[in-house]
Amino acid sequence: DTAVSQTPKYLVTQMGNDKSIKCEQNLGHDTMYWYKQDSKKFLKIMFSYNNKELIINETVPNRFSPKSPDKAHLNLHINSLELGDSAVYFCASSQAAGSNQPQHFGDGTRLSIL
């Protein structure tokens, strides 16, 4: 009964490839997020969707494209992977954007670019 689940947990691939990370939440939340955690553990918001609508789009290369088919899913597609994309990517969800309810995080996807 995992609340926020991401797949895959580990992703090892070569430079230039295209890959996707999937995220699903079964909490009934309206808002979902993608964060990037670098090697120094710094967490930075990348995107946020509220009811399938993009509400946060930080300064992220165009190679990153989020897609939300429904409010329970937020996938992240990355084109032309680069060495600097190596990081841990976390999906999160919360009850509603702008509410004071905490965000619930998945276990992360560890992306390694060779």
Partner 1 sequence: AQSVTQLDSQVPVFEEAPVELRCNYSSSVSVYLFWYVQYPNQGLQLLLKYLSGSTLVESINGFEAEFNKSQTSFHLRKPSVHISDTAEYFCAVMTTGSYQLTFGKGTKLSVIP
Encoded one letter per residue, x for contact with partner 1 by CB under 8 A and - for no contact, window 5-34 reads --------------------------x-x-
Candidate residues 90, 93, 111, 113; the one interacting with partner 1 per rule CB under 8 A: 90
Candidate residues 28, 69, 84, 98; the one interacting with partner 1 per rule CB under 8 A: 98
CB atoms within 10 A of CB 87: 19
Query: Is 72 near partner 1 (CB under 8 A)?
Result: no
